[in-house]
Chain A
């Protein structure tokens, strides 16, 4: 009887610890069309699984069109649309450690390849005595510097979860809104469902993908982008005003731990 009672308790315990937070993310990197995406954060028992909504088009492709702006000047527009596979980008974290297991795609040689890497994330949040209300939730402001961007996060202790979108976490309440100072990165919670029992199936280590180190992953990505950007610039026709090229890093992360030294 006693065993049964314990068993019952542990089930109810698991149940109550699940949830699903829907975030909308808005990435507006300079020079690119803004990307608005919906993402889902699933959690159970101190573990979280953050996943981007699967691209409905579900195809990897790129559009390009060569516009004739005026008589002499031609502009070339390139849009790379990274599709996704049926899993997409995933960030798996466990509150026990600073380790995150991430699954992200790279567009190498015209193919979409998924990689799995381990990232150590320790964000030094600084709390401020500033508050605002987001849909009746009282939120406190926290700031942190993370990988080359200065973030402002609004979290609420009314939902006592230490999770957040992307790789953000570690505040004593759920992050309802987080953005960086340039406005290029923006996440906001849109919908909260607690409990959400299906989360039990969702929350697990991502498996499908080539395992490499984080540094290898980043370096691979940078070299792919440089190759593409240079090719585009070098292919612009005569008459397009030549301006010295500046290949800017774009993305949520601009600096990496190994670059600081």
Chain B
């Protein structure tokens, strides 16, 4: 069915999102959804993450424009919320730091003049959650990432192939990232 379908919210660690720089659309139409392909082959339009909000700042000049930094076991995500993300902006303006937060949002990228690509997230929703939810997310994201690494090695999935071609992904490196997150979880349990 070519009708509307909802983009799945992918689970990707901050480290991997930071390493991503390949964006594309499935169709040439300017309204077609834009995807970000990560080094392990996650095709991300929507993302779901749970982490610790560690910084927030209103960087807007005329109107409020909030930037939040959310950390996970591997690094941090940047979330930007302005007038078009009223729920996210309101949350960031009111919340106290630090806090466990769950973010549903869309990835966006920014390319600097010298060709570096920065990834960030425009939130559809930010909610405060508890520590267990954060741990559940880490475990789930570890599992999904590991599955993607296996697909990458199998080399059959088209996204995996493309990712390998573009990034020459070092599977061992991302395995070690996953392992680190799992070990951090184990210490807490």
Instruction: State whether these chains interact.
Output: no
Residues on B close to A: CB < 8 A? none
